[in-house]
A and B are shown apart, each in its own frame.
Chain A
């Protein structure tokens, strides 16, 4: 029997809807993840447009405050769990087997399940918007007691949606680890793996470690809401701050879950267009592992103002600032890779460079927030909003877009439209800075986050920010147009696609055949 399936019969893709519903092919599943995440990006983005529309001018303009709160909540949840995370899992699905010379993911049926939970979880989450009392309105961090005692009835649906999303992430991560540890081609030793594979290996470990903790947090919320427990209720001996500890024990590694694969993507792209090997490969690996380790012992820097003991403030401050060291190693290595390289600036490189510069700005504002005494000033202001949007939009999202430009010719077999791509890039980069840079000033001046109305003194910067947001939102439609155009046709892509590209995925034809590496390649 072990030989009967050796020459796998189905070489082409099956057709119709059942292809996508029942598929066990890593490329199909990667495509599903990427399209799902793009759809969620547009949904979450439209929520952001509502937020910025309301904030265009001071005073109550368009929506009622409760709906505004559910917009900020859903925007955060949809972007984190619906757009950024699934996009990286989609990239992992497409790329990891091709990069390590494996025929597919290690557990293909479970891979399908990891994806197909997502649309159902997303439906559950979005359905809350149409229920009595409205959707979740307590912010994406769902702090108790806002999410327990004072939350709308629909919160229980939100809780189960989070359970489903977590289940999907855990299964996806188990698959990634099993694939990387067990499916590498002969000769592909750990320290020869492309950095994207390395960062995903560590990300998957983080996901398996913290998604169950999130499940624990929402389970305690569920029983506090419905079954009389007192985990987060001081009157019964619990503590609302306990919620924050449990949540951020998940939440802090979570933000690295969203940025480590981004580091991986950028570490693939920069060497290609600098036409040099990545500077300091092994230090990149160790830096990634260090960041992952540190991510477990810094969570309370999100909670400096809750009244922790001073020893706690100090410990979490020092541990937090320590993260700057491995992160600095990474930024240094990217710059050193480009040093004296034969640089060209195709679109993936443009996005990667924007990532390096703008993510670093987000990293610096993170350092400011990490200093406990000054965080008392910045906490829950627009400075925080500016910080994490620099890290997540110009960081995580930009790297995802860079990755799409970089590998799109491999996926579709066509080159994208350079003109459209340049419009998309320049519009995005200009508008994203118009959106988020003024928010630093708003925050430093004291404008709190998650409010629908504000002091007239903040009007000018808010107006700028809203105009930037509309521009950035519209620019993403160019991206959609570019992708559709590229799928439909365009200049034929070569197998190698990029002159300086290295790695197994560039040795196979473009578009990548439905099954690759049925025979494991030899890696020297």
Chain B
């Protein structure tokens, strides 16, 4: 409902959205072109065009967010604008949840339905008998249903839950606490503590990503790859997209840390900080799902 104080801020025409669209087009067209020598503009494996697009998008993000920050700091936004931003972030996070849901759903379907079916479960005896004779379902799946088909990387071991993943769980849960401590410090107006706790959160986040990278290198060296059949596919796609989101969240929090050092945010007005913190809790919760369904079970 509309607020009594001041009217709703309607921005002037802006060039940033069109720049963003151009960047997005160039980035994705370049990426798609790099995937096959049959496609136009750049040859197979050439990512130059994609990087140009990414650079344009980064330029757009700096410009667009910079403008929003300037407007916010100048006091242009009233409480109603703040609510619009909050709703925007909330529903954006919901869309991200649904993106992960697709991959979790795929994992569930593969583990509990389709792999057992390939082994002849339920009414699929003929599938096993005539198409994949001799296949015994297992998870992690290391012996492929089609033994004759080559190209699947056989792995020597999988990543156990109680090594690095457990440590990473502790790291992320701790970072959830530190970001809350940062929020409390912000509400009390204690800027030093805010910056400190944000710094701690960002460090924990990047250490998490570092461990994850180390784990990936280890996995690849023992043969567990994207091409290790459907186990490798689900493992790397789920943890990979999560790792990407941790990186994005950590970058967001880094920006918040620098803004805190520049004296932005007040105990009343700090939506950007809260948005980044929400996002951080979201990647935290997704990780708990991953830890249980990908590593433990």
Chain A interface (Cβ < 8 Å from any Cβ of B): 1-3, 5-6, 8, 10, 14, 18-19, 21-24, 102-104, 106-110, 112-113, 116-117, 119-121, 123-124, 131-133, 153-154, 156-157, 159-160, 163-164, 167, 170, 173-175, 177-179, 181-186, 208-213, 215-217, 219-220, 223-231, 233-239, 241-242, 245-246, 249, 307, 309, 515, 518, 520
Q: Are A242 and B114 in contact (CB under 8 A)?
A: yes
Q: Return B47 CB to nearest CB of chain A, in Å.
A: 13
Q: Is there an interface contact between B28 and A1, defined as CB atoms closer than 8 Å?
A: no
Nearest 6 pairs of A and B residues by beta carbon? A216-B102, A2-B6, A228-B227, A235-B146, A113-B17, A237-B230
Pick from B10, B92, B123: contact of A5, CB under 8 Å? B10
B148 to chain A, nearest CB (A): 9
Q: Does B87 contact A234, Cβ atoms closer than 8 Å?
A: no
CA gap between A226 and B36 in the complex, in Å: 9
Decide if B226 touches A177 in the complex (CB within 8 Å). no
- Mark out the residues of chain B between 208 and 236 whose CB falls within 8 Å of any chain A CB in the assembled complex: 225-227, 229-234, 236
Cα A2 to Cα B9 in complex, Å, equals: 8
A19/B13 in contact, CB under 8 A: yes
Is B115 interfacial (CB-CB < 8 Å)? Answer: yes
Which A residue's beta carbon lies closest to that of B82? A182
In the complex formed, the residue of B with least CB distance to A309 is: B122
Q: Chain B residues near A110: list those with CB within 8 A.
A: 17, 88
Tell me whether B13 and A14 are in contact (CB under 8 A).
yes
Q: A229 is contacted by which of B22, B80, B227 (Cβ under 8 Å)?
A: B227
Give B114's nearest chain A residue, CB to CB. A239
Q: Which residues of B contact A179 (CB under 8 A)?
A: 84
Contacts of A154 in B (CB 8 A): 39
A186 in contact with B1 given A109-B64, A242-B114 (CB within 8 Å): yes
For residue B238, give the distance in angstroms from its CB to the closest CB of chain A.
11
Given A133-B38, A237-B115: A246 and B18 within 8 A (CB)? no
Kindly list 7 other residue pairs between chains A and B, CB separation below 8 angstroms, not including A116-B21, A119-B21, A239-B109: A24-B13, A131-B38, A228-B227, A235-B144, A235-B145, A307-B123, A309-B122
Kindly state the separation between the CA atoms of A179 and B85 in the bound complex, as whole angstroms. 11
Cβ contact within 8 Å between B226 and A223: yes
What is the distance, in angstroms, from B178's C-beta to the closest C-beta of chain A? 29
B102 touches A212 (CB 8 A): yes
User: Min CB distance, B38 to chain A, in Å?
Assistant: 4
A113 interface neighbour in B21, B94, B226, Cβ under 8 Å: B21
Majority SS at the chain B contact face: helix
B106 partner residues in chain A, CB cutoff 8 A: 216, 220, 231, 242, 246
B40 contacts the other chain (Cβ, under 8 Å)? yes
- A103 to B11 CA separation, bound complex (whole angstroms): 12
With a cutoff of 8 Å between Cβ atoms, the chain A residues found around residue B8 in the complex are 102-104, 183
Residues of B within 8 A of A153 (CB): 36, 38-39
Residue from the list B21, B29, B83, B131 in contact with A117, Cβ < 8 A: B21
Given known pairs A132-B39, A208-B95, A226-B35, the reply for A178 and B84 (CB within 8 Å) is yes
> Are A213's CB and B101's CB within 8 A?
yes
Interface residue tally for chain B (C-beta within 8 Å):
83
**How many A-B contacts if CB must be within 8 Å?**
258
Q: Which residues of A contact B95 (CB under 8 A)?
A: 170, 174, 208-209, 211-212
CB pair B110–A2 under 8 Å, yes or no, is: no
B9 touches A5 (CB 8 A): yes
Most buried by B among A175, A235, A242, A307: A235
B15 at the interface (CB under 8 A from A): yes
List, sorted by A's number, 11 A–B pairs whose CB atoms are closer than 8 Å: A14-B13, A21-B18, A106-B84, A182-B84, A182-B87, A212-B97, A215-B102, A220-B237, A231-B234, A235-B144, A237-B115
Q: In the complex the two chains form, is A237's CB within 8 Å of B1's CB?
A: no
A108-B10, A116-B18, A120-B24 known; A215 and B99 CB under 8 Å?
A: yes
Whether B91 and A174, one on each chain, are in contact in the complex, defined by CB atoms closer than 8 angstroms, is yes
Q: How far is the CA of A239 from the CA of B94 in the complex (A)?
A: 27
Interchain CB contact under 8 A, B1 and A174: no
Give chain B residues whose Cβ lies under 8 Å from the Cβ of A239: 109-110, 113-114, 117-118
List of A residues within 8 angstroms of B229 by Cβ: 230, 236-238
Task: Give the chain B neighbours of A113 by CB distance below 8 A.
Answer: 16-17, 20-21
Contact B102–A238 (Cβ < 8 Å): no
Chain B residues contacting A211 (CB-CB under 8 Å) are 95
Interfacial residues of chain B within 71-106, with CB under 8 A of chain A in the complex: 74-76, 78, 80, 83-85, 87-88, 91-92, 94-99, 101-103, 105-106
Instruction: Decide: A185 near B144, CB < 8 A? Known: A103-B8, A238-B110.
Output: no
Cβ–Cβ < 8 Å partners of B122 in chain A = 309
List residues of chain B with CB within 8 A of the CB of A108: 10-11
Nearest neighbor of B15 in chain A, beta-carbon distance: A22
* Whole-angstrom CA separation of A14 from B13 in the bound complex: 9
B5 CB, min distance to chain A CBs, angstroms: 6
The reply to whether A182 and B102 form a contact with Cβ atoms under 8 Å apart is: no
**B80 / chain A contacts, CB cutoff of 8 Å:** 182-183
Instruction: Given A186-B2, A212-B102, A230-B233, answer yes or no on A1-B74 (Cβ-Cβ < 8 Å).
Output: yes
- Interfacial chain B residues near A230, Cβ < 8 Å: 152, 227, 229-230, 232-233
Chain B 139-165 interface residues, beta-carbon cutoff 8 Å to A:
141, 144-146, 149, 151-152
Supposing A110-B17, A228-B151, A246-B105 touch, asked if A124 and B28 sit within 8 A by C-beta, the answer is yes
